Amino acid sequence: MRGTKGPMRQTGTRLRSARAFAVLGFLAIAATGTALVVQQPWTWCPSDWSDAARVHLGASGGYVVLDGREFQVGGNALLDYMPRIVTSPLDQARAGRHPLGITASISASSRDALGEPAFTCFRVTRGSEVWARRPTTYGTQTRADGYPPGAPSPIPNNAWRLASVNDGPEWPDGDRIELELWATVSGRHYVFALPPFALMRGG
Partner 1 sequence: MRRVLALILMFASAAGCSIAPAPQVLHPEYRYVASYPRGPFTPGATVHVVWTPELVRTGSAEPYDVRLCISVFGSFESPGALKESGSRSGGTRPDCPATGSVVSSGVLRTRSDTGNSLSADLVLPRANGFYDVRQIAINGVEPTYSAMSAGGVIEIRGP
Residues that bind partner 1 (CB under 8 A): 53-59, 62-68, 70, 109, 156, 158, 178, 190, 192-193, 195-196
Q: How far is the CB of 50 from partner 1 (least distance, A)?
A: 12
- For the CB of residue 188, give the shortest distance to partner 1 in the complex, in Å: 9
Longest CA–CA span in the chain (Å) reads 93
Whichever of 98 and 123 has its CB closer to partner 1, that residue is 123
Shortest spacing between CB 47 and partner 1, in angstroms: 17
Each as own residue / partner, the long-range contacts of residues 125-132 (CB below 8 Å, 24 or more positions apart, any chain) are 125/177, 125/178, 125/179, 125/180, 126/169, 126/171, 126/175, 126/176, 126/177, 126/178, 126/199, 129/169, 129/171, 131/100, 131/168, 131/169, 132/45
Q: Which is nearer to partner 1, 80 or 105 (CB)?
A: 105
Question: Where would I find the H helices in the chain?
Answer: 2-39, 89-95, 111-114
Q: Smaller CB distance to partner 1: residue 78 or 179?
A: 179
Q: Tell me the C-alpha distance between 121 and 133, whole Å.
A: 6
In the bound complex, what is the minimum distance in angstroms from residue 5's beta carbon to partner 1?
52
58 or 187: CB nearest partner 1: 58
